[in-house]
Amino acid sequence: PTLPADNPLTREGVELGRHLFFDPILSTDSTLACATCHRPERGFTAPLQDLQAPDGSPLPRKPLPLVNLAFHPPGFFFDGRAPSLRDAILQHLEDPLLMGTSRTLALQRLRNGAAYPALFRKAFPITHRNEIGEMEVGKALEQFLLTLISGTSKFDRAAYLKDGTTLSDLELEGYFHFFRESLVDHPGCSHCHTAPLLGGTEGFFNNGLDSALAPQDFPDPGRGAVTLLDEDFGEFKVPSLRNVGLRRSFMHDGRFASLEEVLEHYCCNWKPAPNLGPDIQGFSLTPEEKEALIAFLHALTDTAFLQNPAFQSPF
């Protein structure tokens, strides 16, 4: 993992971050918490159709799962606009589509809160509530998020921990389809969702969601809006597939409602584009093979991670 040199993890800092993550105090009207969009029971994400901005408008993109972030390279959000995890946290606070608050208002609430001044003094070398600043808020949330490590799914226990757990015949068949590397006609899942993290570290790709003759034709510019490079338009960060079986919307815009729809897209319904990812080529799977692949994806559910008391609300 890559941990920030200026923010060593401490019990006090992580606990403060956990409070801030589940507390709606940081949103503009004190109704939204980080956990509103990043729900533990959903693998620290949420279906896009369940979410809306503070003003009631729809969100253009679904929240990425907050899992194994300690291993992620620079480039957070679907478009990679935040160079670091801490920068992504601070951008969340002021984004009108997310928390929608001003840093000044958020800090005022924390400084005047009944419990937070003491929690901040325990976590950081400050002596007065007025010393609570945006950097301390960002560092505390960063510490908590860096502890969200998922690595005890059924797949992990069988493949890496080797604790005697075995995949079922159906899951094992799906495993072979997921990692199959034949030269033609294969799903290619593992090319973008590489083991052991299964996504989040591979960069940005165009996965054929929308056709475009020119870069500016994509309905969502994705990474291109950040770099302004033609080849980056319509590209998005590869999300982790850990706990993917708990999700009810898929892709950056939540357009698919099931894993079956996702497989149908990749096998048969992807759209051409100048910068289409090289692994988007289509493939054939029988209904039985699709069932097996989906069974394997459900074996990526990490119940121990999802139910870890350290990752639940302190309130």
pLDDT classification of 41: cutoffs 50, 70, 90: very high
How far is Cα 53 from Cα 59, in angstroms, rounded to an integer?
6
Residue 303 β-bridge partners: none
Report pLDDT digits (tens) over 230-260. 999 999 999 999 999 999 999 999 999 999 9
Q: Which amino acid is at 35?
A: A
Pick the CATH number of 11-149 from 1.10.760.10, 1.20.1290.10, 1.10.287.110, 3.30.420.310: 1.10.760.10
Residue 236 β-bridge partners: 205
Q: CA-CA distances (angstroms) from residue 257 to 49, 179, 209, 260?
A: 10, 24, 14, 8
Report pLDDT digits (tens) over 10-33. 999 999 999 999 999 999 889 999
* 11-22 and 116-123 helices, crossing angle to 10°: 150
The residue-averaged pLDDT of 253-277 equals 95
Residues 6+ apart with CB under 8 A from 54: 27, 28, 29, 31, 32, 96, 97, 99, 100
Count how many Cα atoms sit within 13 Å of the Cα of residue 55 in the half-sphere of its side chain. 7
Per domain, the residue ranges of the chain are 11-149, 154-304
Confidence (pLDDT) at 281: 86
Say how many residues make up the chain.
315
The pTM of the full predicted model, rounded to 2 decimals, is 0.95
Confidence (pLDDT) at 236: 98
Confidence (pLDDT) at 282: 83
Q: Give SS3 for 155.
A: helix
In this model, does residue 188 exceed pLDDT 80? no
The residue-averaged pLDDT of 41-46 equals 96
How far is Cα 280 from Cα 270, in angstroms, rounded to an integer?
8
Token representation of residue 255: 């357009």
pLDDT classification of 183: cutoffs 50, 70, 90: low
H or E segment to which residue 236 belongs? strand 236-237
The residue-averaged pLDDT of 168-185 equals 86
Instruction: Calculate the dihedral angle through the C-alpha atoms of 235, 240, 244, 248, rounding to the nearest 10 degrees.
Output: -40
The segment with the largest mean pLDDT, out of 96-100, 229-233, 280-284, is 229-233
The residue-averaged pLDDT of 41-47 equals 96
pLDDT classification of 182: cutoffs 50, 70, 90: low
Token representation of residue 109: 């609430």
Helix and strand counts by DSSP (H, E) for the chain: 13, 2
Q: CA-CA distances (angstroms) from residue 152 to 155, 172, 243?
A: 8, 17, 11
Q: Give which of 79, 83, 64 is closest to 236, Cα–Cα.
A: 79
Report pLDDT digits (tens) over 123-168. 999 999 999 999 999 999 999 999 999 999 999 999 999 999 999 9
- Identify whether the C-beta of residue 30 lies closer than 8 Å to the C-beta of residue 22: no
Report phi then psi at 104, rounded to 5: -60, -45
Class of domain 154-304: mainly alpha
Report pLDDT digits (tens) over 285-302. 899 999 999 999 999 999
Confidence (pLDDT) at 71: 96
pLDDT classification of 308: cutoffs 50, 70, 90: very high
Instruction: Calculate the dihedral angle through the C-alpha atoms of 30, 22, 73, 134, rounding to the nearest 10 degrees.
Output: 50
How far is Cα 222 from Cα 60, in angstroms, rounded to an integer?
11
